[in-house]
Amino acid sequence: MKFLAWLDEMQTLLSSKPVGSTKLLLFMVLLLHAIVASAADSVTFPGKISEIKSPNGLYTIKNFDYPEGNINYPNHILFFLWKGQKKRLALNVHQLLWHVPGVGTYNRIAQILWSPDSSAFVLNDWEGSNVASLYLYRVRDLKHPVNLADKCGVEDSRDVRRILKCDHVYTYASKWISATAIEIKQTGHGSGGPFTFYFLLNLRTNSCKLIKREWKEDFSDCP
């Protein structure tokens, strides 16, 4: 939505009097602003940026790092905040540990991707050097994240055997296609050889479809 708004503004300005290099400069500035605004709907923690707001500005996800050497595990925690309210909620992908005080959200690296309509977000949990998983949080029900890795999987026996032979398998959301559709990647390597499977998850129909396979690892959008 942000991109479309800026595209409209760009078209309006380019249709005005400036010509030649001035038009080109306006185009580049507005396109860069649109790209930056779009990229702001995702962030990787921990890092220089400690929080991310939803596209509509009503919600904030804030990262907190426990001091080094703290016994809490995982040692990073994400809080969900509502605009204009003092309350906050600690996000927890481990439902069995929901009521245990001090339990963090993730241990190594977490990536947040907001849906275009701000109704949900995906948390990519890069929990180990050889594994990654992903969870869907709906704003109306933050205490019950859905493990999206359970929704998508290959069915061809040859693909299954390749994955089973690999000791590095990463499943994560690469981007939102729309408010109800997510592109999910499963990539990795091992004795079965490198691979990347691309899935389209439809949240409206709760269905996942394999759309492409490649015999190489694709980490082009990884943190």
Q: Domain-by-domain residue ranges, the chain?
A: 1-39, 40-214
Task: Judge contact between 98 and 92, C-beta under 8 A.
Answer: yes
Q: How confident is the model at residue 24 (pLDDT cuts 50, 70, 90)?
A: low
Average pLDDT over residues 18-30: 49
Q: What's the pLDDT at 202?
A: 97
Q: What's the pLDDT at 129?
A: 80
Residue 22 has pLDDT above 80, yes or no: no
117 Cβ contact partners less than 8 Å away, ≥ 6 residues apart: 55, 56, 179
Q: Which of 50-54, 77-81, 115-119 has the lowest mean pLDDT?
A: 77-81
Average pLDDT over residues 33-54: 74
Q: How confident is the model at residue 71 (pLDDT cuts 50, 70, 90)?
A: low
Average pLDDT over residues 123-128: 89
Q: What's the pLDDT at 216?
A: 93
What's the pLDDT tens digit per position in 168-197? 999 999 999 999 999 999 999 999 899 999
pTM (2 decimals)? 0.76
Residue 6 has pLDDT above 50, yes or no: no
The pLDDT > 70 percentage for the chain reads: 74
Q: Which of 1-5, 44-48, 90-94, 197-201 has the lowest mean pLDDT?
A: 1-5
Q: What's the pLDDT at 62?
A: 95
Q: Which residue has the higher pLDDT, 27 or 167?
A: 167
Task: Judge contact between 177 and 190, C-beta under 8 A.
Answer: no
Task: Judge contact between 94 and 22, C-beta under 8 A.
Answer: no
Residue 28 has pLDDT above 70, yes or no: no
Type and span of the H or E element at 33: helix 21-39
DSSP state of 118: S
Q: Which residue has the higher pLDDT, 6 or 118?
A: 118
DSSP state of 106: B
